[in-house]
Amino acid sequence: MRSNRVLNVVNAHCEGEIGNVIIGGIGQVQGETMFDKKLWFEENYDQVRELMLFEPRAAVWHNVNAIVPSNSPEAAMGYIILETTEYPAMSGSNTICVATVLLETGILPMTEPVTELTLEAPVGLVRLRCECENGKVTKVTFTNQPAFCYARDTMVEVEGIGTVRVDVAFGGMTFAMVEAQDLGFSLSPGEARELCDVGERIKLATAEQVPVAYPGNPDMPGITNFEWMGPLRRDADGDLAAKCTVVVSPGRCDRSPCGTGTSARLALLHARGDIEVGESFTHESITGSTFSAQIEGTAKVGRYDAVIPQVGGQAWITGLSQMTLDPTDPYPHGFTLSDTWFGIEAGARG
């Protein structure tokens, strides 16, 4: 077998959302911080993202993570998150996949019943509590970087839809957020295609009409995600709960409740006075999977009042594989087709 590149991959998903992990074959990634490494990777190694996520090797609903050493003395390891249209600074489901792979494969030592772990994501240090039993990670709870609201109850004009009430919040990624019932959605699986179509249109309009800038980091992306919010309710135990659907570009539903989307929603709920520090919150995805969450404390990010989110869920390893690139393969950068890759320029890539 001839190959220009061989990547060793552990396949995994977190609550239904694929988050595969590259554990070997990347090579050296330059940069002092993980955010620096992310920028360098995007500039120099973007073919890895294309190889791992584009057709004919993958699909629009795949994500992947590259394990790289961290320069922080506090972090056991670092990771760069690769998604279909961007390199996020943070992703909750991907973080849970990374921690699970690192511990279950023995790359980092596992201590039962709890392994305390610090990893470095591009957003910064992420502290994790990994519950473990019989060599299996049964739950990962991570403390995210502070989440906050950029704008609340902002009226956005969307062509073909009209005026839409939008909130904008940062939870590791920046979300345009809309109450699903405002547009008549119940967030059922049968609505998924329409939720994506409408959500992408609202997100693009919001990004044009509500400019945002992350305090102290001009390289942090603006609004790149969209979140539909179901009604807040009390579950059988009396705890707060709600459904959600996050629309991931170029236009598909997150299969998990989305860790950064959950963090953004905690920030919005706290700003509205709907949740207190330490109060339990369950976020449910369109597939029925759930994350447990709460606010650990409060903080400031520039001029914004912020919360420190804790989010918990579980990941499962689904296989081990090697991704290879034959030097005669006509699609070394993969390709996209608009039947599934909605909203982006489609076609073969040489």
Question: In CATH terms, is domain 5-143+317-336 a member of 1.20.1440.230?
Answer: no
- pTM over 0.85? The answer is yes
Compute the distance between CA of residue 299 and CA of residue 322 in angstroms, rounded to an integer. 43
Two structure tokens written together for 316: 């499962």
The string of pLDDT tens digits covering residues 187-233 is: 999 999 999 999 999 999 999 999 999 999 999 999 999 999 999 99
The string of pLDDT tens digits covering residues 139-171 is: 999 999 999 999 999 999 999 999 999 999 999
Compute the distance between CA of residue 65 and CA of residue 81 in angstroms, rounded to an integer. 5
Dmax of the chain from CA atoms?
60
Phi, psi of 225 (to 5 degrees): -130, 165
Provide mean pLDDT across the span 70-89: 97
Provide mean pLDDT across the span 281-295: 98
Amino acid identity, residue 116? E
User: Does residue 350 register a pLDDT over 90?
Assistant: no
Q: Which of 1-5, 48-52, 114-118, 286-290 has the lowest mean pLDDT?
A: 1-5
Question: What is the predicted pLDDT for the residue at 345?
Answer: 57
Catalytic (active-site) positions: 91
CATH homologous superfamily of domain 147-309?
Diaminopimelate Epimerase; Chain A, domain 1 (3.10.310.10)
Fold: same for 5-143+317-336 and 147-309? yes
Compute the distance between CA of residue 314 and CA of residue 155 in angstroms, rounded to an integer. 37
Residue 1 — very low, low, confident or very high, per pLDDT cuts 50/70/90?
low
Residue 261 — very low, low, confident or very high, per pLDDT cuts 50/70/90?
very high
Domain edges within the chain: 5-143+317-336, 147-309
Phi, psi of 327 (to 5 degrees): -65, -15
- Chain CA centroid to CA 147, Å: 14
User: Comparing C-alpha atoms, which of 15, 19, 12 is closest to residue 285?
Assistant: 15
